[in-house]
Chain A
Amino acid sequence: MTWLTWRQFRAQAVVAAAGLAVLAIVLVITGLQLSHTFDTTVLGCQAHGDCAAADNALQGQDTALQDLTRLLMYAVPAVIGLFWGAPLLGRELETGTFRLAWTQGVTRARWFGVKLVLTGLASMATAGLLSLMVTWWYSPLERVGAARLTPGEFSLGGIVIIGYAAFAFALGVTAGLLARRTLPAMAITLAIFVAVQLAMPFLIRPHLIAPVRAVSALKVANVHSESIIGSGGGGTLSLGAAPDIPGSSSAWIYSAQVTTASGSTDLGPAPAHCGPNSGYNECQAAIARMHLRVVATYQPGSRYWAFQWYETAIYLAAALVLAGFCWWWVRRRVT
């Protein structure tokens, strides 16, 4: 059975291995340059304070490859589900070859089990290797870029992609089994997988671990937006500000609300110094004298790996449930 699985999977395996090999060569060469740039410019700048220029220069390096690696991290699990998962049973059922396979001297349970496990492991290994390379390549950029725990960055590294690949593969197999045709199975797989991938960061992931709630004093330097609603000196003040929490640059901040010292979200009338005729610095000083606070709910950046493990476990569990269903269906129901 191992031979047949390999023979049927050979072409896809070669394509995947070749793709990973080419990517590895490109990423190693450019990745070493990125590390070098990081070491020489960004590390040096930290000594004399102003790093914005060095950060921007690093982020501007290899932008095409940055886009490509992001695309790969999003697309590879889906491609695995579509091209490795969906045809696994879909094509056999569509072309009737399952009748050939299931009347040989191996039980259909074994036939399916070997194919499922070997191809499934190949899917996870492919995704894992990709993530390993991309995570390494991205590490200098990550240290100057957005926090890796935030939704846009979270799935671009770490181990979750292994869970995604396993789930997409199992989803494809299931769709192929139920649709009994490859092309509709691929369409179903893509639709469901995209829906799940969109639901995860917005509906599920924020609730995996209870966020931290922190109240900190408003630092005027952290204010990023201010507006006065209403005319004249009596307009209502509205402020947006980043919380003053340790490691805020790596945190995933759900919300940050500016309140008064007593906790009210109504900041009251704007200080007289913030009128149209007042200077910027006077207004800032006046706001500082109000002793406002910032109430923040957030996930500390240190929870990155906890989230990675939780999410990987969820996807792997879903993949196992789907695989178990397929196993049962193949043994009992399909004909």
Chain B
Amino acid sequence: MAENEHKWTMIVDLDKCTGCQACVIACHAENNVPIASENEVIRGRGQHWIRIERYWEGSFPEIQARFIPVFCQQCNNAPCEPVCPTYASYHSDEEHLNVQVYNRCVGTRYCGNNCPYKVRVFNWYQPQWDEPLNQQLNPDVSVREAGVMEKCTFCIQRIRRGVEAAHLEGRDVADGEVVPACVQACPANVFTFGDLYDPESEVSKRLPDQRQAKLLEHLGTEPAVYYLKGGESHVGE
């Protein structure tokens, strides 16, 4: 392991997720993700880098809803990477992230097909920000043009900024110094983010966990996102 390598890892505690969508909106704000219009949503083109999947379990009256926040799993063995003919989707060995280089993308959408999590988002149209909403754009994140694939980056702009600031001070980035927008926005502390290579980080301490599971683990994609399954409380039932 090189000295400045990090294994950025996310833990998602499903027992705490209330489906409130705060992470979704925070992600839109941080990453300049356009809002899909009503018509676009109807056409199945809701555009979010993170989404809350809601599943029903059981039927009335013994029914429960389950929320699963799904975003790029930053697979170590990512199906989207080898299929890209232009290296727009490639693996960053430094951050152990799956990176999308917008400028290289020609829009074959093969990566989108091959992503079993369906977290890759295509720009069907030129993104629009009505005046003066264009002023809300985050200057640290490039705005993508029509025909380009995009996805969750674990807020790589925040990672880079944190790591570089730490290096300027001659130290490695400290746990908790880098926080993606969704993690920051979540009121219920669903997410834990950190460097798995740092034995003192919170993610390292929390893993392994009895409740831990990975999404579609059988596909062997080796996600960097760990889900902690929801618990269950029964009382005299």
Bound pair: A and B?
Answer: no
